[in-house]
A = this chain, B = another copy of it.
Amino acid sequence: MESRFNRLHFWFMIGGLETHHITRSFSSLRVNPDRMLAAFNQLALIGATSDGGVDRVTFSETHLAARPWFKEEIEKSGLEFRTDGAGNYSAFLSSSAPDDGHRKIPVRGDQTLLLGSHLDSVPNGGRFDGALGVMAALEVLKTVKESGINLKSRTELSRSVNLEAIDFTDEEGTLVGLLGSAALAGHLSQQDLDSPRGGRDKLVEGMKRAGLSDQSMLSAVRPKDSLAGYLELHIEQGKRLERAGMDIGIVSAIVGIWSYRLAFIGRADHAGSTTMDDRLDASLGASAFTLAAREMVLKDFPNCVVNVGKMDFAPGAFNIVPARVDVLLEFRSPDEEEFKRLDIALLELARREAGHFGLELNVEFLGKHSPSMMSDKVQLAYAGACDDLRLTHIALTSGAGHDGQSLVDMCPVGMIFVPSVDGASHAPREFTKWEDCINGANVLLQTVLKLAA
A330 and B267 contact, CB distance less than 8 A: no
A286's closest neighbor in chain B, by CB?
A: B287
Instruction: Contacts A276-B298, A281-B294, A423-B278 given; indicate if A173 touches B270 (C-beta within 8 A).
Output: no
The residue that A427 contacts in the complex, of B307, B309, B323, B399, with Cβ under 8 A, is: B323
CA distance A124 to B314 in the complex (A): 10
Give chain B nearest CB distance to A138 CB in angstroms. 24
A313 and B315 contact, CB distance less than 8 A: no
Interface size on A (CB < 8 Å)?
A: 65
Give chain B nearest CB distance to A342 CB in angstroms. 13
A434 on interface, CB distance cutoff 8 Å: no
CA distance A321 to B423 in the complex (A): 13
A425 and B307 contact, CB distance less than 8 A: no
Give chain B nearest CB distance to A175 CB in angstroms. 12
CA distance A34 to B186 in the complex (A): 69
CA distance A284 to B238 in the complex (A): 20
Q: Chain B residues with Cβ under 8 A from A269's Cβ? A: 423-427
A270 and B310 contact, CB distance less than 8 A: no
CA distance A320 to B430 in the complex (A): 13
A317 and B322 contact, CB distance less than 8 A: no
Give chain B nearest CB distance to A121 CB in angstroms. 11
CA distance A259 to B278 in the complex (A): 21
Give chain B nearest CB distance to A51 CB in angstroms. 11
Q: Chain B residues with Cβ under 8 A from A272's Cβ? A: 237, 255, 257, 305, 307, 332, 398-401
Give chain B nearest CB distance to A306 CB in angstroms. 8
Q: Chain B residues with Cβ under 8 A from A330's Cβ? A: 271, 318-319
B399 and A270 contact, CB distance less than 8 A: yes
Taken residue by residue from 409 to 453, chain A's Cβ proximity to chain B (1 for < 8 Å, 0 otherwise) reads as 000000000000001111100000000000000000000000000
A406 on interface, CB distance cutoff 8 Å: no
A28 on interface, CB distance cutoff 8 Å: no
A380 on interface, CB distance cutoff 8 Å: no
A328 on interface, CB distance cutoff 8 Å: yes
A274 and B309 contact, CB distance less than 8 A: no
A290's closest neighbor in chain B, by CB?
A: B287
A330's closest neighbor in chain B, by CB?
A: B318
A37 on interface, CB distance cutoff 8 Å: no
Interface residues of A in 253-309 (CB under 8 A from B): 255, 257, 259, 267-278, 281, 283-284, 286-288, 290-291, 294, 297-298, 305-309
Report which A residues bind B (CB closer than 8 A): 122-124, 172-173, 197, 236-239, 255, 257, 259, 267-278, 281, 283-284, 286-288, 290-291, 294, 297-298, 305-311, 313, 315-323, 328, 330, 332, 398-401, 423-427
| CB<8 Å pairs between A and B, sample of 15 | A237-B273, A238-B270, A239-B278, A267-B427, A270-B400, A271-B307, A271-B332, A272-B305, A273-B399, A273-B400, A274-B305, A274-B425, A276-B306, A307-B321, A323-B427
